[in-house]
Amino acid sequence: MTAPGRTRVGRGGATHRGLTGWAFALPFAVPFAIFLVGPVLVSLLMSFTDIRLADLRNPLAVEFVGFENYLRLADDEVFLKSVRNTALVVLLGIPLTLGLGLAVALGLNSGLTRFKALFRVGYYLPVVTSIVAVSVVWRFVYQKDSGLVNGFLGLFGIAGPNWLESTTLALPALIVMIVWRGLGFQMVIFLAGLQAIPEQLYEAARIDGASAWQQFRHITLPMLKPTLLLSTVIGTVGLMLVFEEPFVMTQGGPLHSTVSVSQYVYSQFGFGNYGYASAMSYVLFLAVAALGVGWFRLLKSDS
């Protein structure tokens, strides 16, 4: 017997509904499988082979080498340097971008400025501007003789260095540019989180005599935990995959001091080392996935 008001659906009806659902999903599922899932699986197989540009004319000559490509990474000095550079970008870029983005969002959300919309657009404009165009502009900013940075230092009698040609200063200079560009995106995310916090919580805290710091520590930060998780994960993935900035501004130099993992993978594909480049790509993928899972476990909400 069926409950009153309910209709018993037979197997034929459920099958029909299932087929109807798949019919609606096919326009997405088929291109997704062909253009995304398929290439991903092929690249995974390529990472276990010694396939090179010269071998493409004779695919049967492709040699299966197992984990040799992955083991080679441990002895590749350039790859290890790219891992170090990318790690420094993440370790320095995440706290700077999140901290500055939260500070700007707090300022704009508290009514300290009269022209909120203008400042929001100004901070967010670098995010929607072409990365290549921004990188080219910052190359001129860092010029030794005519750059704005050294021009400003010259006002105080300081001879500025050649920022992008120094093995010690090129990477920090890139990180400053990356943080400046990502600041606007984090600001928008934090603004959305701040505006979702009920004002009654702050009113109750002020009645109890809580200071501004106590309100920030005990109300703002706990309520921003989901927003902080989102910003951290998105920021980490973006910095782990940084490519355009070093590619345009320094080409990975000098002496590979600014080369990133993504840029090195791109160069190996350009040289025709498809199997080796695929192996590096999956190592990068595993690192991004591991960091994402780590952030979720560290910052996930207790509720």
CA end-to-end span of the chain: 40
Q: Where are the alpha helices (DSSP H) in 48-147?
A: 68-73, 77-109, 116-128, 131-141
Residue 114 lies in a domain: yes
User: Are both 267 and 120 inside the same structural domain?
Assistant: yes
* CB 257 within 8 Å of CB 170: yes
The model's pLDDT over 199-220, given as tens digits with 9 standing for 90+, comes to: 899 899 898 888 889 999 999 9
Q: Tokens 């995959």 appear where?
A: 241
Q: Which CATH number covers residue 292?
A: 1.10.3720.10
Structural domain boundaries, residue 52: 12-61
Token pair 């030794």: residue? 144
Same domain assignment for residues 54 and 134: no
User: What confidence score (pLDDT) does residue 21 get?
Assistant: 82
Same domain for 90 and 232 = yes
Same domain, 16 and 157: no
Identify whether residues 152 and 225 lie together within a single domain. Answer: yes
The answer to whether the beta carbons of residues 263 and 245 sit under 8 Å apart is no
**Is 287 contained in some domain?**
yes
Task: Compute the distance between CA of residue 13 and CA of residue 8 in angstroms, rounded to an integer.
Answer: 10
Q: Are residues 75 and 114 in the same domain?
A: yes
Q: Which segments of the chain have a pLDDT < 70?
A: 1-13, 52-61, 111-114, 301-303
Query: Around 212, how many Cα atoms within 13 Å sit in the side-chain half-sphere?
Result: 3
Q: Is 124 exposed, middle or buried (0-12, 13-18, 19+ CB in 10 A)?
A: middle
pLDDT value at residue 16 = 75
pTM score, whole prediction = 0.83
- What tokens does 110 get? 């508290």
For the chain, the domain total comes to: 2
Do residue 280 and residue 167 come from a single domain?
A: yes
Shared-domain flag, residues 164 and 77: yes
Average pLDDT, the chain: 86
pLDDT at residue number 112 = 60
User: Judging by beta carbons within 10 Å of its beta carbon (0-12, 13-18, 19+), is residue 77 exposed, middle or buried?
Assistant: exposed
Contact 292, 233 (CB under 8 A): yes
Confidence at residue 303, expressed as pLDDT on a 0 to 100 scale: 44
Distances (CA, A) of 179 to 203, 220, 245: 34, 23, 11
Query: Do both 29 and 145 map to the same domain?
Result: no
Question: Residue 146 falls within a domain, yes or no?
Answer: yes
Task: Tell me: do 41 and 131 sit in the same domain.
Answer: no
- DSSP secondary structure string, 210-251? --HHHHIIIIIHHHTHHHHHHHHHHHHHHHHT--HHHHHHTT
Query: Is 18 in the same domain as 144?
Result: no
Does residue 2 belong to any structural domain of this protein? no
Residues 56 and 205 in one domain: no
The distance of Cα 5 from the centroid of its chain, to the nearest Å, equals: 51
- The label of the residue with tokens 């590096």 reads 280
Pairwise CA distance, residues 162 & 146, whole Å? 11
253 close to 243: Cβ distance less than 8 angstroms: no
